[in-house]
Amino acid sequence: MAISDVQEYTHLTDEEVEQLGRELDAVRAEIEESRGDSDAAYINRLIRIQRYLAVAGRITLLVGTQGRRTRVPAAVAGATLLGLHKILENMEIGHNVMHGQWDWMNDPEIHSSNWEWDTAQPAEQWKHSHNYVHHQFTNVLGYDNDIGYGVLRMAREQKWSPANLGQPVYNALLATLFQWGVALHDLDIERIRKGEKDPKEMKRQLRQILRKGRNQVLKDYVVYPALAGKQWRTVLVANATSNLMRNLWSYMIIFCGHFPDGAMHFTEEEIEDETRAEWYLRQMLGSANFTGGPLLHVMSGNLGFQIEHHLFPDLPSNRYAEISVRVRELCEKYDLPYTTGPLHRQYGQALRTIMKLSLPNKMTSSDQPEPPTPSRDRKRKTDAERPPRRKELGGWMRSAS
């Protein structure tokens, strides 16, 4: 269901909404003041572990695959180690570093302006499409390109077309090739298709993507296989397997954050003159958590606390579990939903939505009220048409073009 008036939906008064905002600001201030050595030790330790996994995986593949008896076990072990390295680097390290969560340390090696992650999308383009567009306009139809990533219909308010019948196939391809789907995300294929994209900016971005993608392909599918000599095929398959592990895992975690039952969509009317407190409220309604142990949360970039992440995207991820206790209390105090559940259930609900919305609304049932406005094409907004960025969303830059 898409909401056009969050305050009316939640039955909160103006003063209650602003008081909620003040209480969340207080949580932010408390965490900012308490950041220190233990937080710095956490991220430095994770980076060391991630690099040890990479080295162990490469050595296992390059050395272990030379023997006939050790070839298969080494390939499996090497692929697993590399997959874990890639997941950890992308989810808990790269994603969060680029949000500016560790900028307060003033360490140039762990800073949002310098980090370039081990995936096909250039960091600059990720920080624009994710930090700025997605986090500012979370689940707003026509503004947030993460709603379906340009290939999936994820809300009943979105106009149906016969092409949506292929959603099960598109979804499988998106999951399998997720890093490449993300690499194209900031291009905004819809605007290119409609002839609305600035050709110079499009060419600049394409050059950036091709350069980054080329380096990723050379590293995983040329250089390291070549170093393995006669066992190059085994190493190449193991590298491809590690990338597949990362793709499937990151796809599932990200889709669990905004598409399970209870995560709301919003119309563009909702963000007109939106205050900071109202932005907080929309993040709480548009995000969904999942439950699990500490290891699951680390390997998912602590996005099991997606609500907390969307409230405070630039606070250290290792503090989200602590913050979640306070956020739950505020949800109870203001009678707000706190959407959470086991990982398998959250993804199952997202997958069910993908399958149902491949069909026209009249052919499927909904346990939510029908859309308040007719389904229609919602034109994607340009940066010039979007409101100013909020400072907590992290830095991003555009080259002069």
**What tens-digit pLDDT sequence spans the chain (401 residues)?**
567 677 777 889 999 999 999 999 999 999 999 999 999 999 999 999 999 999 999 999 999 988 889 999 999 999 999 999 999 999 999 999 999 999 999 999 999 999 999 999 999 999 999 998 999 999 998 888 888 888 899 998 888 999 999 999 999 999 999 999 999 989 887 788 788 888 999 999 999 999 999 999 999 999 999 999 999 999 999 999 999 999 999 999 999 999 999 999 998 887 888 889 999 999 999 999 999 999 999 999 999 999 999 999 999 999 999 999 999 999 999 999 999 999 999 999 999 999 999 999 988 876 554 444 443 444 555 555 555 556 666 555 444 33
| Strand 265-266 to 2-3 pairing | parallel
Q: Find tokens 């950036």 and name the residue.
A: 208
The model's pTM: 0.89
Distance CA 322, CA 312 (A): 12
Q: Find tokens 């000599």 and name the residue.
A: 229
> Is 248 in a helix, a strand, or coil?
helix
Give the largest Cα separation in the chain, rounded: 72
- What is the Cβ-side half-sphere exposure of residue 362, based on CA atoms within 13 angstroms? 4
Distance CA 282, CA 146 (A): 16
Distance CA 395, CA 386 (A): 16
Distance CA 219, CA 213 (A): 10
Distance CA 324, CA 43 (A): 20
Instruction: Go through the chain and tell me how many residues it has.
Output: 401
The total of other beta-carbon atoms located within 10 Å of residue 304's CB is: 28
| Tokens, residue 111 | 């800073």
